[in-house]
Amino acid sequence: MAKVTKVTFNVDRCKGCSLCVDACPKKIIRLAPETMNSKGFHPAEITDQQACTACAFCATMCPDACITIEKEVG
């Protein structure tokens, strides 16, 4: 069975600090260049969901707890 990881961002709470971008060892998180949230920030997004290893470095670094990581066996 393959492990499936789903990373989601609370876009409205994200202030675009990019700490999660710097923390990601796979370099698959970026600030969304064409999206702005209600506060005027470019929120973080994942570029390759399948490459995520669910290490949770991004979620640990997020000062506003905007990142949720779900790991499923599927």
Q: Does the global pTM surpass 0.85?
A: yes
Q: Tell me, what CATH number does 8's domain have?
A: 3.30.70.20
Domain range for 50: 3-73
Q: Total structural domains in the chain?
A: 1
pLDDT in tens, 6-63: 999 999 999 999 999 999 999 999 999 999 999 999 999 999 999 999 999 999 999 9
Q: What are 52-61's pLDDT values in tens digits?
A: 999 999 999 9
3-state SS of the chain is CCEEEEEEECCCCCCCCCHHHHHCCCCCEEECCCCCCCCCCCCEEECCHHHCCCCCHHHHHCCCCCEEEEEEEC
Name the pLDDT band for 72 (thresholds 50, 70, 90). confident
Task: Kindly tell me if the per-residue pLDDT of 2 is higher than 70.
Answer: no
